[in-house]
A and B are shown apart, each in its own frame.
Chain A
Amino acid sequence: MGAHDTPVEILRWRCGEIPGGDDRPPHVLPYGNGRSYGDVCLNDQGGVIDCRGLDRFISFDPSAGLLRCEAGVLVADILDLIVPRGWFLPVVPGTRWITVGGAIANDIHGKNHHRVGTIGCHVQRLELLRCDGIRRVCSRDENPDWFRATVGGLGLTGVITWAEIRLKRIPGIDIDCESIRFERPADFFALAEESDRSFEYTVAWVDALKTGKGAGRGLFFRGNHGDQAAATASAGRPEAKGFSRLPRVRVVTRPAVRAFNELYYRRQIRKRRRYKSGYRPFFFPLDAIGGWNRLYGPGGLLQYQFVVPMADAEDVVSEVLALAARSSSTPFLSVLKVFGDRQSPGLLSFPSAGATMALDFPHLGDATLKLLDGFDRLVGAAGGSIYPAKDARMPAAVFNQCFPGWHEMVPYLDPGISSSFWRRVTGSSV
């Protein structure tokens, strides 16, 4: 997609207008750090407004745990600031390299969704700047309808210039973790039910290539913030160096993934392992490998993340795994988690009570797309939904089924804003 040809305007001051003026393309899209897997952050027929220059903190109250910052501030920058002072973000995704604006626009979730819901549940206020120059401070009390449309609103309601987030106290900076091997999806669900009561963070890795006996086996990770003093904690150690110049050669092939999965599954001899982890390797394992996406080869990767209600979750997960294992497309990293029932304020928010699964595939063209169409049918039949932030291919009909309320967004859409994703899933021309 033509991200490199898209005209880019830079927004560097929150007091400024959306740049471009009369030369602005008919529609633009606020752009954060570009880590969404699909086209929610692309606008191939218009321009983008690069918001990464909005990278200033505005206020931080270390006694109340309230942080206000501009929307281009990265999760990494926030954690660097607040963790040494005993605070943590209430919700973090799988990478530190996303902006606050992107986190809100995609209403991201983390390994603690079963406890605390999405980031939108913790955003106190935000400012929305429209292409016509109108500004609105939005919260649950002020402009609540705008707040609802903007949280999870994929940047389509205007540019988020700043946000205020309620932070979470932590006793120390490390995570006390356990990893537990499981043999089949049913065991995962039993572990999730047991763990979600006593662990703040839970997630599982699944060996999506294993068929027959052991199909759906994996490792269940659970953790809580530990109470080690900062000075002795391992997160203070320097991080592993990234490999930002990885060659764009497809390493994600079936034999390689099969070998990786076997080794990964057997990395612990005992069924259960207890360990301490720095918060970075625990929450952001892929950040240690800069440019990891290049391992999927020149076609790139497609990720498929869905949620289905608990009633059918085990069946859908097993069927998705069976389809993936039989397909010529090789799923690499597959992740499974149970969402809680805390409702996000966001109108288009993705998470809902049930099980969510994310699978990465090298994009091999039609074979991969057909496989994902097959997933759509399973997810649709179970009344599930697909995550826009990860999507690059869901047809308009599927989007309509996943987000039947999307028409409620229409009055709040900024006429000067659109995205490749939005045109694709709504079938609109702008």
Chain B
Amino acid sequence: MNRVLIFGASSAIVEATARHFATAGDALFLVGRSRAKLDSVADDLQVRGADRTEIAILDAGDVDGQKEVIAQALECLGGVDIAIIGYGILPDQASADADPELVRQTLEINAVSTVCLMARLAMILERAGSGALAVISSVAGDRGRASNYLYGASKATIDHYAEGLRCRLSGSGVRVVTIKPGLVDTPMTADFAKGALWARPETVAKRIYAGLLSGPEVLYVPWFWRWIMLGLRMIPERIFKRLPL
């Protein structure tokens, strides 16, 4: 049985991933902003077979509150084997271009709050000498594009931090898994026109669940994004900046 601590438990990808843990009979501690939503998720996971489910309310921007919630989770679960960070906001780039406040808010939630949480969780897992810390980043972090560079920059922060953390913790028994979803049909992307590259949260979740405990620690989901992004990264800047991406 794994003891799983989840931040952003009501996000579509994370909820779908949590169902795999529940079916496997794991113990789950769910953190999110809305009690009503967390309650619905927790009840569902309990019925699906979770050993136990507990919830705690925390706003994604509340960095100081993280300590208390983590302490609560440790006490409740008796330790943590897997920690998943899955919250984030997707700002509209055009709005952000004219609104530095939105820029700050995005970086505070997607980058500052997430990285602080990673630091806290890394200490705990390092002490335990085992387990996995997974963070949901995005393919958008791989390169800055005109349509999405604020979101991309916030995710690139996570990527960079996770990469360094992975180096620090290599040999400690702790995995640091960067999850890079491509286009996923979730409430976050409800207003986008969907095409052939779009994946369902359940499809993505299956791969995330399988990739958390073994395999490569940078996980593109679905798999083909690894190659799409590799191609994009190889385009020279002088050409890249002219592309309508």
Q: Which residues of A contact B (CB under 8 A)?
A: 10, 12-15, 53, 56-60, 69-70, 81
Contact = CB atoms under 8 A, between A and B. Distances in A.
Contacts of B44: 56-58
Interface in B21-69: 34, 36-37, 40-41, 43-44, 47-48
B231 interface: no
B78 interface: no
A14 B40 contact: yes
14 contacts: A12-B187, A13-B36, A13-B40, A14-B40, A15-B34, A15-B36, A53-B12, A56-B43, A56-B44, A57-B44, A57-B48, A59-B47, A60-B47, A69-B47
B190 interface: yes
B150 to A, nearest CB: 25
Interface of B: 12, 34, 36-37, 40-41, 43-44, 47-48, 187, 190
A259 to B, nearest CB: 36
B185 to A, nearest CB: 10
Nearest to B39: A15
Contacts of B190: 10
Contacts of B47: 57-60, 69, 81
B187 A57 contact: no
Given A56-B40, A57-B48, 7 more contacts: A13-B36, A15-B34, A15-B40, A53-B12, A57-B47, A58-B43, A59-B43
Contact of B37 (A13, A60, A69): A13
A81 B22 CA distance: 12
Which residue of B12, B36, B47 has the most chain A CB atoms within 10 A of its CB atom? Answer: B47
Contacts of A69: 47
A10 B43 CA distance: 21
Contacts, number: 33
Nearest to A58: B43
A81 B37 CA distance: 22
Which residue of A10, A13, A56, A58 has the most chain B CB atoms within 10 A of its CB atom? Answer: A56
B24 to A, nearest CB: 14
Contacts of B34: 15
Ranked 5 nearest A-B pairs via Cβ: A56-B44, A57-B47, A15-B36, A60-B47, A57-B44
Contacts of A59: 43, 47
A10 B40 contact: no
Nearest to B201: A53
Contacts of A81: 47-48
B48 A10 contact: no
Nearest to A67: B47
B40 to A, nearest CB: 5
Contacts of A60: 47
A6 B173 CA distance: 52
Contacts of A70: 40
B187 A56 contact: no
Nearest to B40: A56
Contacts of B40: 13-15, 56, 58, 70
A15 B32 CA distance: 15
A56 B43 CA distance: 8
A48 to B, nearest CB: 14
B67 to A, nearest CB: 29
A81 B48 CA distance: 7
Nearest to A60: B47
Contacts of A58: 40, 43-44, 47
Contacts of B43: 56-59
A56 B41 contact: yes
A14 B36 CA distance: 9
Contacts of B37: 13, 15
Contacts of A14: 40
Contacts of B12: 12, 53
Contacts of B187: 10, 12, 53
A57 B39 CA distance: 11
A54 to B, nearest CB: 9
A59 B48 CA distance: 10
Contacts of A15: 34, 36-37, 40
Nearest to A10: B190
Nearest to A12: B187
B203 to A, nearest CB: 14
Contacts of A53: 12, 187
A60 B187 CA distance: 27
A127 to B, nearest CB: 13
A332 B36 CA distance: 48
A219 to B, nearest CB: 37
A62 to B, nearest CB: 10
Contacts of B48: 57, 81
A12 B48 CA distance: 18
Which residue of B37, B44, B187 has the most chain A CB atoms within 10 A of its CB atom? Answer: B44
A53 B186 CA distance: 10
A12 to B, nearest CB: 6
Nearest to A14: B40
A293 B108 CA distance: 50
Nearest to A15: B36
A58 B36 CA distance: 12
Which residue of A57, A69, A81 has the most chain B CB atoms within 10 A of its CB atom? Answer: A57
A175 B1 CA distance: 34
B113 to A, nearest CB: 23
A14 B44 CA distance: 12
A58 B43 CA distance: 5
A60 B36 CA distance: 19
A185 B34 CA distance: 59
B21 to A, nearest CB: 15
A340 to B, nearest CB: 32
Contacts of A10: 187, 190
